[in-house]
Each structure stands twice: as C-alpha cells, then as structure tokens.
Amino acid sequence: MGRYMDEKYFIWNGRLGPIMLSISNATFTPSTVSALIANELDIQKGDSIIDVGCGAGILSIIAAKLGAKSIAAVDKSPDVVEVGTHNAQLNRVADQIMFYNGDLFGPFSDDIQFDVIIGDVSGIPDALADSSGWFPLGRGGGVSGSELPIRMLQNAASRLSRRGRLLLPTGTLQDEAAILDTARSLYKRVRILNERRIPLPTNLAESEVVANLVGAGTISISPKGSRYFWEARVWEISAPV
C-alpha cells in the first residue's frame, strides 16, 4: 500500500514537464484544462499567488518553478495538505508553497489579497460530474456548473490586489454565459487568453445525462465525424468594479 489509500502516480507532460505527482483516491487528476491554464501562467517577481482548487498542486508547482516565492494552494479534498506537500517536496519547491484544506478563500482573513488568483475550480454540472467519474468526490460546480465559478468570481473581487489578475477556465460543459455575465458585471477587464476544442468520450456524449443537459440548454457539444467535442477557454480577469 502507498502513502495514501489507492495511491497512484501521474506524469504531467504539459508545461515544464515531465513532472511526477502523487494522486490519491480523493485527488483531482490534472486535465487538459489544467494544461491550458499552465500555458498562460505569467509570474512576475514578487507576485503573491493563490491556487484555488489546487488538486494535486500541479499549477502551484509550475508557478514555483517559474519563480514565485510564495504560493497558497487551497482545495476541499480532505488530504490536500498531505498530498500537495508531498508533491511539492517531490519536485523540490516545498519551501515556496503552503497547502490548505478549505473552500475557496475560506482559510484566509478578509484583508489578505493576491496578485495572481488561479481559479481552476470545478465547473461542470453536478450530474455530469457524478456520471463522468472525472471528480473523485463526485462534486461538480453546481446544478448548471456555473454556481461555484460564480461564487469564486464574487469572492475574488475583494481578494485581488490593485495590479491583480484572475485566471479562470470556462467551457461549453457548463452554463458559460452566466459565468461570463457575472465576470463582466464585477470586473472591468475580461479577456480571453486561450481556447481549445476537446473530445468528449462517446459513451458520455451519448448518455442520458448529457442529453438532458443539452436539451435544457445548460451545456453544448458539437459532433465532428464520429466524435463529439466541447470547447474550453481560459480568461484573464482584472480590475474589479
């Protein structure tokens, strides 16, 4: 038996890879969206950083390798402190990252602000999260997949420093319009950094859960040949109103 129950190792081959990570049965495995965000990380000397929804800590580790001196990494996974700290030690950046268990900015006092907020929180409908198996704890971003990202946008407005910026992924597997409407109502600058079409497994694309979500207008997917795709985007959001 490994350090954690059902422990496994994952090799990250995205930006700055290969990077080895330990993944427990409660840890979210880095995804294509994680890779999109990693490609847009622009770390400046002296930036204070928080990685919200850090999972195994890959984006924090990359930020540390890019020169960040102090990173707070937060996740609701019950073993995030143990798993994340182990991964930081494994990649020789443990002195730069502190891991916390909690919801969004909950572990921090109200007056603490950050220059970079990495907001890779769960953003698909709960029903899809449960049926896909992508999330170890079966939690999504709410009924429409927009509720958690919207709550983060609302809380982040007071957490950004004067020069701060928030990196936020969105996609067509959630109520993306509701998230972007909220972002534009709370922040002066909302600009797209990156986007990619991502294949959806056929068994999932043709499932009743996806059919119901598409029928309700909550998500959208598009066929191409024999496959189905969804679209993911990464945004930089700044200047709270």
Environment class of residue 31 by beta-carbon count within 10 Å: exposed (0-12), middle (13-18) or buried (19+)? middle
- pLDDT at position 122, please? 78
pLDDT in tens, 163-218: 999 999 999 999 999 999 999 999 999 999 999 999 999 999 999 999 999 999 99
- pLDDT at position 2, please? 42
The answer to whether the beta carbons of residues 50 and 105 sit under 8 Å apart is: yes
pLDDT band at 3 (very low <50, low <70, confident <90, very high): low
pLDDT band at 133 (very low <50, low <70, confident <90, very high): confident
Q: What are phi and psi of 150, to 5 degrees?
A: -65, -45
Average pLDDT, integer, range 110-137: 91
Average pLDDT, the chain: 94
Alpha carbon distance 105, 63 (integer Å) = 19
Average pLDDT, integer, range 138-154: 93
- Going 20 to 68 to 100 to 105, the CA torsion angle's sign is negative
> Which of 126, 208, 130 lies closest to 175 in space, CA to CA?
126
Spell out the domains of the chain, with CATH numbers in brackets.
Answer: 8-195+232-240 (3.40.50.150)
Q: Which residues of 7-30 are buried (b: 16+ CB within 10 A; e: fewer)?
A: eeebebebbeeebebbbbebbbbb
- The pLDDT of residue 94 is above 50: yes
- pLDDT at position 6, please? 54
Average pLDDT, integer, range 140-151: 95
- pLDDT at position 7, please? 66
- pLDDT at position 73, please? 98
Q: For residue 216, how far is the Cα from the chain centroid?
A: 25
- The pLDDT of residue 1 is above 70: no
- pLDDT at position 119, please? 95
pLDDT band at 46 (very low <50, low <70, confident <90, very high): confident
- The pLDDT of residue 4 is above 80: no
pLDDT band at 137 (very low <50, low <70, confident <90, very high): confident
Average pLDDT, integer, range 19-46: 93
- Going 39 to 45 to 48 to 54, the CA torsion angle's sign is positive
- pLDDT at position 136, please? 80
- The pLDDT of residue 5 is above 60: no
- pLDDT at position 229, please? 98
